[in-house]
Structure 1
Amino acid sequence: MEAPCDTAALGYPETFTGEFIRYCLVHHLPPLLFHDLSEVLERIPRYIRVRPQYMLKNIVMPPEDNNVAGEVAARQERCQIKAQIAASFGVSSASVEEVEWLPNPYYYAVPRGVAMSRAAIYQIGMVSAMDAASVAAVVALRPCQGDLVWDVCCSPGMKLSLIADAIGETGVAVGTDINLNRLFTARSVLRKHQAGNVCLFAADGTSFTLHEAAAALDEMISSGKPGGNGLTPWEERKLRRFRKRRHEMSVETATASIGMKEERELAVAFSTVHARERICCIEKWKNEHQGFDRVLVDAECSHDGSLAHIFFNDATRKPFSAAKATPMTVSSGIDNAHRMQRLHLALQSDEKEAKVQEELSPLLQIQLNLLRNGYSQLKPGGTLVYCTCSFTYEQNEFIVRETVSRVNSSNDIKRQYNGEAVIRHPFLYTHETVSLEAISPIVRLTDAQAASLQERLKMDPDPYGILCAEVRNEEEATFTGVRLWPRNFATSFQFIAKIWKRPLCSSNTE
């Protein structure tokens, strides 16, 4: 039985479980953090992105010479977009605002109570709901036209859809997830958005490889006409067998077995013709192909920083409903109290001591393995972004620093990974050599935006003293990543770190 906990005496919200309070105490998450969240939650808007296929040409391709006439025309058309969004959602144009710290004019804040699913522009896929913090992770990755990109934990598919739009028709986005139900959600999103450059695999991200994925694709399209999900009959049968085996396993067994030999199997869940052709070519030329251009590791985490999971006071209200919205019925089973019971705390009886003994908790081990395998599949010169919605130091800075330490531990290890891991600021791109023309405007910050965002993140990096309580020496205090705090950005929390795989040369391998 869970020991009673005096939440009032500790200062945490009364709705917090004893287990969660213990977790907060262990990880130095103070009551003030959650009181701030409960207050800011009422002010956080909904965020949408306008998909580039629906943007007018002179907005997508702004004039290079910055002439006055061009600027006026661009402003007018941006006003038209705002007016169309407002009309579709039934709100005033003044309540629709561009997100000034994300690439303009593709991201907007709208009142949190809008009935988004009823709006025509949402139903046709012109706009999609996507939190600004999630967009920021993809902007940090900055996928380019023609890139081969892997989204390691791709469900529910919003980041993957943004990546697919950014890389264009010549690129390929690969998504994986071990949970089939979540993967099918991502598949629905991609089908709705008519993504023509994506391939989805039911696979364990801790062991997935590009060449295994290529081998799993049926090259013999002539053996059967692909169905609605782009799969051949052989692939459909393999997916059904995979699903049956997964169904026979309990959730606990499936989680515990991640990384075991029998979990190395994978199955194709969705594929477009273009994605299939390019990935199959990789298998033919595997001795020459060196991996993904970019990798996104949106890792499985405890969700302690997810506003959709924290139950503050109203058990019947959806996370982003309006303050005066009609409460849901509790029987729906998706209220915040239910979500909070599903937090993946994975807290061991003595996690601190375990870390000292170099034994990571199961959750930290999964995160480490996801990040390390993501890095191993990255080609030299490629970029990896790691992000979570956890507040904790262990799941963020510690995991990134531990991974970099292991993959850089010796020159032999660096040669195994075919590069040296270098931590970069998520919104600094000076290490990249791509031309601006290759970068889609939907993920491209202006120089002024990037500089402003870097300064904004630097101003208040640790407002609750979480890092200060955890960091023990100068090495641990070195820069690892950034934290987007809800009170500063009016969005969900997100930790974002970026690793560049610097190509090896004689000077840094000797």
Structure 2
Amino acid sequence: MADARSAPESLPPAFLEFLQENGLDPMMYSMVDTIPRYIRLKPGMEPHIPEIQSELKCHLNKVSWLPDFYAIPPQVQIASSMAYQQGKIYGIDAASGAAVLALDVQPGEHVLDLCAAPGAKLCMLADMLGGRGSLTGVDVAKHRLAACRTMLQKYSLGDRCRLFVADGTSFSILPVNSSLGNGEGSTCHKDNGSTLSEWTSKRSWKDRQKSKKVLVDAECTHDGSIKHIQKFEFWGWKTLDRRVLDAERTDDLLHLQLRLLTNGFKLLKTGGSLVYSTCSLTVAQNENVVQQFLCKHSSAELQKIDSADSWPCRSGSIFKTLRFDPATSQTSGLFVAKFTKLQI
């Protein structure tokens, strides 16, 4: 059980109690200044590393276990750099990159990101597809999905992805060769090959295409992100009470996570792979959701993530699930589970 007496002084008592109830060590929130910041280098930009290092005034330390990822000091800001503005680098935590890599996306596959915002994982998926197959990004918040579109265009990936404003718990996929502006969405905007549309259901289930790979990086309490929790010092701890500690909101989140996972699996082809992840470290939002899902879906089976043999993470309390955390992994906290759909 976590020892609240050893916690950073800035954390409020209610949050310390939350950590203690979930067996989490509050000391990880004192590591915010020691955990590296991670960036992903756009493929093909390796020759620009010396100039990027010169501009950022730091060394880019290659992450040995994650292709195209580099660690930089946590205090380095990239948003104002030319490398970022010109689409050579973007920020994404290494643990989040691992969740994407766990899907083992191959060129030519049909991939669905059911909780796509803010867009870094979507860019990584688009690069992995290599301009072949299809990629669909979904998010319930229009302004957040618009940010995804901007990011895809910035990295010249706008023509490789369709974006839909939709509830991920009920979304279903349009056939790849369908026109995105043929009445399937209530609004449709095109800009440099990238499309953002509000999705509405007008097709039968059997007419809808299923994906070979599905990513469900579900909404959660974000307690595993020490940088996110640190922001509450500026937002106010009452905001944390509402977003993280409120029991009614937590219950709603658990229901949402299970529904997202269930719908993502429904949209998965037989033999395909689905990765479920959250940046919470609580058992309720991770192993418990996985266990509930497996009990209700006999065609779902947890799958070993082969590439994880070299990852700096530990096993979850359910075999084949993984956990990243600041102390073990030098990353934000992240839970990862990979499923396959069996032929029943």
Q: TM-score range by the shorter chain?
A: 0.7 to 0.9
Q: Answer yes or no: is 1:381 the counterpart of 2:271.
A: yes
SS in 2 for 1:115: coil
Deviation at 1:340, TM superposition (A): 3.7
Question: Paired residue for 2:50?
Answer: 83
Could you tell me how far apart the structure 2 residues matched to 1:310 and 1:498 are?
Answer: 27
CA distance in 1 between counterparts of 2:207 and 2:145 reads 30
Larger gyration radius, structure 1 or structure 2: 1
Report the secondary structure of 1:403's partner residue: helix
Q: Distance between the aligned counterparts of 1:341 and 1:214, measured in 2?
A: 46
1:423 and 2:313 matched: no
Residue 12 of structure 1: how far off its partner (Å):
4.0
Q: Number of matched residues?
A: 340
TM superposition shift of 1:502? 2.2
Matched to 2:23, the amino acid is: H
Q: Could you say which structure has the higher helix fraction?
A: 1
Select the residue among 196, 216, 225 that pairs with 1:297: 216
Q: 1:142 aligns with which of 74, 95, 104?
A: 104
Q: Aligned pair 1:343/2:199, yes or no?
A: no
Classify 1:363/1:287 alpha carbon distance in 2 versus 1 (closer, same or farther; 3 Å): closer
Select the residue among 170, 173, 182 that pairs with 1:210.
173
Aligned 8 A contact 2:161 2:194 in 1: no
What's the counterpart of residue 339 of structure 2? 499
Q: Is the 8 A contact 1:294 1:384 kept in 2?
A: yes
**Alpha-carbon spacing, 1:386–1:346, altered in 2? closer, same or farther (3 Å):** farther
Q: Give the aligned partner of residue 68 of structure 1.
A: none
Q: Is the 8 A contact 1:37 1:487 kept in 2?
A: no
Following superposition, the deviation at residue 9 of structure 1 comes to 7.1
Instruction: Choose which of 27, 34, 54 in structure 1 pairs with 2:26.
Output: 34
Q: Which runs of 5+ in 2 are unaligned?
A: none
Tell me: CA distance 1:187–1:336, structure 2 relative to 1, closer, same or farther (3 Å): farther
Q: Point out the structure with the larger strand share.
A: 2
| Separation in structure 2 between the aligned mates of residue 154 and residue 107 of structure 1, nearest angstrom | 20
Q: Judging changes above 3 Å, is the alpha-carbon distance between structure 1 residues 182 and 145 closer, same or farther for their aligned structure 2 residues?
A: same
From 313, 316, 321, the equivalent of 1:457 is 313
- Checking the alignment, whether the CA contact within 8 Å between 2:16 and 2:26 is kept in structure 1 is no
1:45 is matched with which residue: 13, 19, 36? 36
Provide the TM-score with structure 2 as the length reference.
0.86
State which of 132, 148, 152 in structure 2 corresponds to 1:170: 132
1:19-56 CA deviation, whole Å, 9 max, x = no partner? 42343243233xxx221331x2211121111111x34x
Q: Is the 8 A contact 2:32 2:227 kept in 1?
A: no
Distance 1:228 1:43 in 2: 40
> How far did residue 369 of structure 1 move?
0.3
1:310: how far off?
1.6
* Paired amino acid for 2:42: R
Aligned residue in 1 for 2:257: 367
Q: Which amino acid aligns with 1:201?
A: F
Aligned-pair distance for 1:229? 6.5
The match for 2:226 among 293, 307, 312 is 307
CA offset at residue 115 of structure 1?
Answer: 3.2
When normalised by structure 1's length, the TM-score is 0.60
Whole-angstrom distance in 2 between the partners of 1:120 and 1:492:
26
Structure 1 residues 345 and 230, CA gap change in structure 2 (3 angstroms): farther
> Quick one: distance in 2 between partners of 1:84 and 1:292?
40
Deviation of the 1:125 alpha carbon: 0.4
Residue equivalent to 1:20: 15
Check if 1:482 corresponds to 2:340: no
CA contact (8 A) 1:201 1:267 kept: no
Please tell me the residue identity of whatever aligns with 1:502: L
Fraction of identical pairs, as percent: 35
Which residues in structure 2 correspond to 1:38-187 (within 5 Å)? 38=30, 40-52=31-43, 54-55=44-45, 80-91=47-58, 95-103=59-67, 106-187=68-149
Higher relative contact order (CA 8 A, sep 6+): 1
